[in-house]
Structure 1
């Protein structure tokens, strides 16, 4: 009986080895629908990234134009201040009298009229 028991025990061991060897690991495949969703997601991310970059470029361009405009305004303001100073220097009474005298004009009190406000 011991030989029968050994045979049964060996058969059980062989069955266990066969059952262990027959375990198949299956890889999960991506279905067509899932592949389409992944592609749509990739396209969406690419589109949004492109849109963000183009918006940043437009903002940069606008800021650059604003800075250039501010610089030209400041430069024109300086020019205007310089011209106002020149006008105030050139419109002094002494200069006007000197220019009038150079041109041969004389002050005649009979021709001067006083205007009151």
Structure 2
């Protein structure tokens, strides 16, 4: 019997060391491969976030340029309309005749020629 008790004691000691090894192995939450995958996933998320921010910045800059150009176009259209009004005021018959007299031009019927359409 004595021999049987030693075998059981050795067996229980082996079992305890196996349980300790299993417990120490269970302590690790993630394998190194999983850690690398998590790190890679986190880096990809950070990179994509940076890309989104830089794209939004570029879009904002382009929109700012568009609004500035539209403002310049409206200003130029206003100037053009003012000039058109000024041209129409200056091209009236009375203004032309007044300017011609200032320059010394006279309207003589002898110098007027009528052109017939063909």
In the alignment of these two chains, the number of paired residues is: 96
Match of residue 33 from structure 1: 33
Partner of 1:107: helix, strand, or coil?
coil
Per-residue CA deviations over 1:1-33 (Å, capped at 9, x if unaligned) read: xxxxxxxxxxxxxxxxxxxxx996953432110
**Alpha-carbon deviations, 1:67-87, whole Å to 9, x = none?**
111110100000000000000
Query: Structure 1: any 5+ residue segments left out of the alignment?
Result: 1-21
TM superposition score normalised by structure 2 = 0.73
Two-structure CA RMSD over aligned residues (Å): 2.1
User: Within 5 Å, which residues of 2 pair with 1:1-117?
Assistant: 26-115=26-115
Structure-2 separation of matches of 1:113 and 1:43:
88
Assess, with a 3 A threshold, how the Cα gap between structure 1 residues 50 and 115 changes in structure 2: closer, same or farther.
farther
